[in-house]
Amino acid sequence: MEELDFKGATEQSRQHINAWVAKKTEDKITELLSSGSVNSNTPLVLVNAIYFKGNWEKQFNKEDTQEMPFNVTKDVVKPVQMMFQKSTFKMTYVEEISTNILLLPYVGNELNMIIMLPDEHIELSMVEKEITYKKFIEWTRLEKMEEEEVEVFLPKFKLEENYDMKDVLCRLGMTDAFEEGMADFSGIASKEGLFLSKVIHKSFVEVNEEGTEAAAATAANIGFRCMVPYFCANHPFLFFIQHSRTSGIVFCGRFSSP
């Protein structure tokens, strides 16, 4: 915990927090707190930063990346830079949610990216409603997956989102921390009367041919062939970065439009 002077040096305090976050995320997140997000009455700001950069165990060849259509909806199509590789990966199909699951390991095999791609006629929102942590663990058990040669088509993408977590945390029951006179931070601060005013979460995830950064062909060589199974993420999907040994989820998100 670090003490800052929000009352006498509001802007300097904001810049100090942003500089700390930028350093921790190797400049992938540079403006966690926007101008005006804190003021002289701000008592306490909770900031957390996590940065992940992982290289695929089997990297995609940049020469195979080409523009392909991405079906945002059945009526809306947008171009996307689609990566491609033909290799052996673990896969499974969950009939309960009509979804293909592909596991892409990172170097070292400590972490994997798990991609959940519903059949084209299935809305991603339906899959999201069905997911619980228990079901996710069951669906992605390695012993339920088959290792097979597959043609993988995966978009390059970069996602950056900003969330104010106050409402979410209050709905989960964490209300006292935001109320003056009710909050108790005596375990981490000697100053009395502190209460949270903001909990800001910002995430950055980039997926490319080399791998994933979280906090960029030849058409003739790429086509659909019946002999080899293919996994073509040309419509909305979910992705999870999972720790192999504990099954803990490090990052998760959805890609629904380029």
What digits encode the pLDDT tens for the residues 58-85?
999 999 999 999 999 988 999 999 999 9
Clarify whether residues 15 and 41 are in a common domain: yes
Residue 2 in domain: no
Residue 29 in domain: yes
At residue 39 the predicted structure's pLDDT band, cuts being 50, 70 and 90, is confident
| Cα 68 versus chain centre, distance | 23
Clarify whether residues 132 and 89 are in a common domain: yes
Enter the tokens of residue 117.
Answer: 């791609």
- Over residues 129-181, the pLDDT tens digits come to 999 999 999 999 888 889 999 999 999 988 777 777 778 888 888 888 777 77
- CATH number reported for the structural domain that contains residue 90 in this entry: 2.30.39.10
Residue 173 in domain: yes
At residue 86 the predicted structure's pLDDT band, cuts being 50, 70 and 90, is very high
Distance separating alpha carbons of residues 188 and 17, to the nearest angstrom: 18
Clarify whether residues 215 and 136 are in a common domain: yes
Using the predicted structure, report yes or no on whether residue 221 has a pLDDT greater than 60: no
Q: Are strands 146-155 and 230-232 parallel, antiparallel or unpaired?
A: parallel
Using the predicted structure, report yes or no on whether residue 227 has a pLDDT greater than 50: no
Using the predicted structure, report yes or no on whether residue 239 has a pLDDT greater than 90: yes
**Average pLDDT for 48-62:** 82
Clarify whether residues 16 and 62 are in a common domain: no
Clarify whether residues 14 and 141 are in a common domain: no
Residue 1 in domain: no
Residue 151 in domain: yes
Using the predicted structure, report yes or no on whether residue 192 has a pLDDT greater than 90: no
Residue 4 in domain: no
Clarify whether residues 119 and 86 are in a common domain: yes
At residue 89 the predicted structure's pLDDT band, cuts being 50, 70 and 90, is very high
The domain in which residue 23 lies consists of 10-49+159-203
**Average pLDDT for 233-237:** 94
Clarify whether residues 35 and 95 are in a common domain: no
Strands (E) in the chain, as ranges, are: 45-46, 52-55, 66-71, 77-94, 99-105, 111-118, 146-155, 157-164, 198-207, 211-214, 230-232, 237-243, 249-255
Distance separating alpha carbons of residues 15 and 33, to the nearest angstrom: 8
Distance separating alpha carbons of residues 123 and 98, to the nearest angstrom: 10
Clarify whether residues 28 and 45 are in a common domain: yes
Please identify, among 203, 218, 233, the residue that sits at the C-terminal boundary of a domain: 203
Clarify whether residues 127 and 209 are in a common domain: yes
User: Can you tell me which residue has the tokens 């996994």?
Assistant: 231
Clarify whether residues 74 and 169 are in a common domain: no
At residue 54 the predicted structure's pLDDT band, cuts being 50, 70 and 90, is confident
User: In what helix (H) or strand (E) does residue 16 lie, and over which residues does it extend?
Assistant: helix 10-24
Distance separating alpha carbons of residues 40 and 127, to the nearest angstrom: 44
Clarify whether residues 34 and 78 are in a common domain: no
Residue 3 in domain: no
The confidence score (pLDDT) of residue 219 equals: 26
Residue 165 in domain: yes
Clarify whether residues 115 and 83 are in a common domain: yes
Structural domains of the chain, count: 2
- CATH number reported for the structural domain that contains residue 194 in this entry: 3.30.497.10
The confidence score (pLDDT) of residue 209 equals: 87
